[in-house]
Structure 1
């Protein structure tokens, strides 16, 4: 999820404070360094919006409540805990790891599953992941919001994952020792990715049994949009995620299908985890008439609106396919089409992620992702925790050969329902 071209970089500093104590209880060869690291790391040099997110400008003004987080008692306690670790831990603690743990713990205190601290290594991997071109294993991942389990939702042809024998439905327990249940799907995906030619050790579960394999990463160029013509002059467009290049792929797919004679369109956002607000609103501007497609509200009540203009829109019947893994930007897409009465939603209720995050990179290469707003559909509905219910509720059923090399879309009952709806509208 790429940085926005229009964003304006700003610098801000939270001034370090002197330790409020003069005599620590014992020799602290690294305790003081840990605290200084905590405070100095709040030097923000740039603001970037990612993971279903928006441009956000901030001067990092300390709030009264937050400014007392690292008070005298807290500093003393951290110092004392550090001395305990230094004296009693059975190995010599790694100072950098302790610092990283403090930063991560501070953000985790929000109890917000969507806010997170990224180490420099993790943030670098996350940035690579947003481009759509990366070295990885070539598998799509999804996270169950109830259990926290990450599973494989798709395997790309000729990918390292396919060659290693991984299958759709495999549960990924860990990658290089990092447990999938301890992090968000995008963080875990960033752990799986890495430099081309390097190996990642995966522990996965299939049919109740755990297996460990080593997979060699390779360059993966994953298009976020795929399309094809279906029976009855119906154009089918599958949107895998909303990254920087998705709008151009989306427009190209629609134009190609129109050239082939498409009179109605199916937009499939099933199992789409989301992506950039900038991308999804650009796509909505392409298919919807003039009006507000989305607005966001921050805690001070300020609102940011995203609008579609009247220059162009898709004058054709539409159906959007959704399921419980359609999240974030996917829900923005489905919600806008629904509220504009531009199309019909078919499938099952969406994930229910209606909050927005920004990522603030720090000068040491690390970053903090923080939730800054709720978003609302054009009709003013916040779907966070609720999801968007489809117009036509239909559980997924596939009657084709699941072992076949190619997916038979006409054996997909939700696709068939979409075709049925569109053909009726085309005939009217």
Structure 2
């Protein structure tokens, strides 16, 4: 009787296990779509900052979704997006293949294409050339700022999304693309056959302002923390110093961030022997990035910030502010204190996953709070060609702050802001 009871119990146990396993696909039976989903799940499981996954059972969610049948890759992507939405973290997201490639291009600092900066005209919604990149194939054939792109390889651009237009103009070096262009104020259209080439994207714009201030001021605008941003900024600082700059304005307005390492390396161009940023991982362990004694200049510095200053831009701004290396002028920053890493999935799509958070050198967590500038100057929206002019109130405030300090060769201190109090708009 004892043996019979043992075998009955064993049969029930085995039946239960087989029944439970039958409720979900077996490892050997996973489809290619399920494997893509599983890889996404594993990445988040291993790397995501919040070990509680927003207070839910991450394994149970996996099993629930895997019981479905994915008919195609789009359904797989939708399942991954559904899974990620439960984290309530807009920065942890799926990047479809074209989005993943585009993000890699924008952070690498180079691409293969025709070399045009494009936008949709806000009034006409036509595809418009903002500017050709100097030395690019587009510049070589004569395309100019303000030209309207009517068709790409014969495909009309009237209802074409900006990303779609950019992807159509990119391609392998040596291949060709045709652009049908109309120039405002001139009659007729012209079609250009352009040979694609390797394009280096320079995120830095620099010039010496010898007219607005009482002393020469070096103005540097950084649009993104891409792989080549540090070297380009280093070159700009050296050139402006050679030209006689006695102070600097670093413009981080509307800079959405980019590579963490670029933000750290750029901070090292301005700081000596200082902590740049602290990072905190999912185990709560603290690490830091520090500057050694390698700053390129100790000239007075003002940093321009606004609501579009985010992520790596805030790391840089916070480091310069907390270490009293610069004063911040403008408006409160965006408030993104989380760090993402990129992971590639088997089908060339990718995941951006929040893996850590950061604190400024004074241990301020700025996530959803932002960084308050030392001098608040509100600014209505202005055009790109109005930056640095009399209508750019934030720039003018920076100039007024820098002029006496640069001429004295003194560091920027809090008292140096007193003279600006009366110019608040």
TM-score, normalised to structure 1's length?
A: 0.66
Distance 2:323 2:265 in 1: 16
Find out whether 1:279 has 2:262 as its counterpart: yes
TM-aligned CA deviation for residue 313 of structure 1: 4.8
Aligned in 2, Cα 1:127/1:18: closer, same or farther, shift over 3 Å? farther
Query: Is residue 247–residue 402 contact of structure 2 (8 Å, CA) maintained in 1?
Result: yes
1:155 aligned onto 2:130? yes
* Residue 357 of structure 1: aligned partner: 340
Which residue is equivalent to 1:233?
Answer: 216
For structure 1, the 5+ residue unaligned runs are: 1-16, 25-29, 45-55, 83-92, 143-151, 167-173, 181-186, 201-215
Residues 427, 41 of structure 1: alpha-carbon distance in 2 compared, 3 angstrom cutoff: closer
Larger relative helix fraction: 2
Structure 1's 192 and 420: CA in aligned 2 closer, same or farther, altered over 3 A? Answer: farther
Give the TM-score taking structure 2 as reference length. 0.67
Confirm whether residue 384 of structure 1 aligns to residue 378 of structure 2.
no
Cα distance between partner residues in 2 of 1:294 and 1:23: 45
Q: 1:368 matched to which residue of 2?
A: 351
Q: How does 1:402-413 map to 2 (within 5 A)?
A: 407=386, 409-411=388-390, 412-413=392-393
| Change in 2 beyond 3 A, CA 1:69/1:331 | same
Corresponding position of 2:80: 103
User: Shift in Å at residue 20 of structure 1?
Assistant: 3.4
How much has 1:407 moved relative to structure 2? Answer: 4.5
* Matches of 2:300 and 2:407, distance apart in 1: 11
Larger Rg: 2
Native 8 Å contact 1:281 1:293 kept in 2:
yes
2:306 corresponds, among 323, 328, 333, to 323
| Secondary structure in structure 2 of the residue aligned to 1:305 | strand
How far 1:110 sits from its partner (Å)? 1.8
Q: CA deviation at 1:396?
A: 2.2
- Following the alignment from structure 2 to structure 1, what is the Cα–Cα distance between the partners of residues 305 and 84? 32
Q: Compared with structure 1, are the counterparts of its residues 386 and 244 closer, same or farther at alpha carbon in structure 2 (3 Å cutoff)?
A: same
Going from structure 1 to structure 2, the CA distance change for 1:420 and 1:36 (only over 3 Å counts) comes to closer
Inter-partner Cα distance in structure 1 for 2:370 and 2:118: 22
Contact map agreement 1:289 1:313 (CA 8 A) in 2: no
Q: CA 1:62 to 1:236, structure 2 compared with 1: closer, same or farther past 3 Å? A: closer
Per-residue deviation, 1:132: 2.5
Could you say if the C-alpha distance between residues 373 and 285 of structure 1 is closer, same or farther in structure 2, counting changes exceeding 3 Å?
same
Gaps of 5+ in 2: 1-17, 121-126, 150-156, 180-193, 409-425
CA 1:157–1:57 in 2, change beyond 3 Å: closer, same or farther? same
Q: 1:195 aligns with which of 157, 164, 171?
A: 171
User: Helix, strand or coil: the match of 1:295?
Assistant: strand
Give me the CA root mean square deviation. 4.2
Greater relative contact order, per chain length (Cα 8 Å cut-off, separation 6+):
1
- Aligned to 1:357, what secondary structure does the other structure show? strand
* Contact 1:125 1:194 (8 Å CA) reproduced: no
Counterparts of 1:5-16 in structure 2, within 5 Å, are: none
Q: What secondary structure is seen at the aligned counterpart in 1 of 2:283? A: coil
